[in-house]
């Protein structure tokens, strides 16, 4: 059966090499004889990426271009692209060929076999040691605290059926963590190992700030552990208070109470104030996210589209 294929590709700072990515996609299209649709979502890139998208859309008729009014972030860009995807099978890949289109036939074959989702599991990464350590630590932390089983070392690179895509889009979250949502909706899924390539050119658009935001989205969207930590801190603080009270009472009846006690008081005040501030920060994070949801703002603004 000839199924329509959609590739969703977020575009950011890729004006210099986007044509190489599309060339690789087109080569695979010809080899696999795809009925193809490519959705390029330009996420408020500071370079002239959208001009390149416009040129490519004239050269390749199956390209649809979407320009967001500003940088809303990778996850929002992908979610926007999914809304425009009309294929029977949908793939999410990056614009820098770290997830080569040549891998896709292997992934699509799993959908032909009855799976609803086939996601990539990164066997090797081409980042520095510190960054790899941070990624590995985060994925294992999230796996240990998440109420939804999110596969280890899996990113956004995946293929899915239209059915799964439609179900994912029913979750209209302002701060989506798509690989978590993909796991949450369920269905028959399989992970396939692959060796992730290095970027063909340029530097990653993921700054430390953006990486921290994605990590927070994953933790706060799929775990209640931060709230449980508040209870643990409260119980720990209560335990310290009881022990210190007993210690003080014993000293009182032993006539060991001194007027001096400034250091002890300061230490106790700093300890409990720290617990209060940590607790307020965690509660504030949840309140802010609730506030974002109840405002019911659109999660993105589209400035311009091509061929949609």
Are 120 and 98 found together in one domain? yes
- Give the C-alpha distances (Å, rounded to integers) separating 119 from 25, 87, 123, 188, 259: 18, 17, 13, 11, 66
In this predicted structure, the answer to whether residue 269 has a pLDDT above a threshold of 80 is no
| Residue pLDDT, tens place only, 234-260 | 667 667 766 766 776 676 666 655 555
Whole-number Å distance between alpha carbons of 214 and 30:
35
Is the model more confident about 289 or about 2? 2
State what percent of residues in the chain have pLDDT above 90.
Answer: 17
Tell me the pLDDT tens digit for each residue of 51-93.
989 999 888 999 999 999 988 888 889 999 999 999 999 999 8
For residue 152, the model assigns a pLDDT of 56
236 with 158, same domain: the answer is no
- Assess whether 51 and 70 both reside in one domain: yes
Residues 184 and 260 in one domain: no
Per-residue pLDDT band for 276 (boundaries 50, 70, 90) equals confident
Res 158 pLDDT > 80: yes
Question: Which of 76, 11, 79 shows the shortest CA–CA distance to 40?
Answer: 11
> Into how many domains does the chain fold?
2
> What residue numbers bound the domain in which 212 lies?
4-223+298-306
**197 and 289 housed in the same domain:** no
pTM over 0.85: no
For residue 52, what is the domain's CATH number? 3.90.550.10
Residues 166 and 214 in one domain: yes
Same-domain pairing of 134 and 145: yes
Contact 90, 166 (CB under 8 A): no
Of 78 and 232, the structure prediction assigns the larger pLDDT to 78
């Amino acid at each position: 059966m000839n199924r329509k294929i959609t590739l969703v590709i977020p575009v950011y700072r890729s004006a210099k090499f986007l044509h190489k990515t599309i060339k690789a996609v087109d080569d695979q299209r010809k080899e696999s004889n795809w009925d193809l649709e490519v959705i390029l979502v330009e996420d408020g890139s500071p370079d002239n990426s959208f001009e390149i998208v416009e040129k490519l859309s004239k050269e390749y008729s199956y390209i649809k271009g979407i320009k967001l009014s500003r940088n809303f972030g990778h996850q929002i860009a992908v979610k926007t692209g999914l809304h425009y995807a009309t294929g029977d099978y949908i793939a999410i890949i990056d614009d820098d060929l770290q997830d080569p289109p040549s891998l896709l036939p292997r992934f699509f074959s799993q959908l032909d076999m009855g799976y609803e989702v086939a996601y990539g599991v990164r066997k090797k990464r081409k980042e520095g040691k510190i960054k790899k350590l941070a990624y590995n630590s985060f994925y294992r932390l999230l796996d240990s605290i998440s109420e939804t089983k999110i596969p280890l070392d899996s990113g956004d690179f995946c293929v899915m059926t239209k059915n799964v895509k439609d179900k994912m889009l029913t979750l209209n979250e302002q701060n989506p963590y798509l690989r978590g949502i993909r796991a949450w909706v369920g269905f028959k899924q399989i992970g396939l190992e692959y060796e992730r390539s290095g970027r063909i050119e340029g530097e990653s658009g993921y700054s430390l700030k953006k990486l921290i935001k994605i990590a927070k989205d994953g933790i706060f969207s799929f775990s209640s552990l931060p709230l449980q930590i508040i209870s643990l801190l409260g119980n720990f603080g209560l335990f310290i208070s009881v022990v210190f009270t007993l210690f003080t009472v014993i000293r009182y009846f032993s006539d060991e109470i001194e007027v001096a006690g400034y250091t002890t008081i300061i230490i106790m005040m700093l300890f409990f104030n720290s617990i209060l501030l940590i607790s307020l920060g965690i509660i504030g994070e949840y309140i802010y996210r609730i506030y974002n949801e109840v405002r019911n703002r659109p999660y993105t603004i589209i400035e311009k589209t091509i061929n949609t």
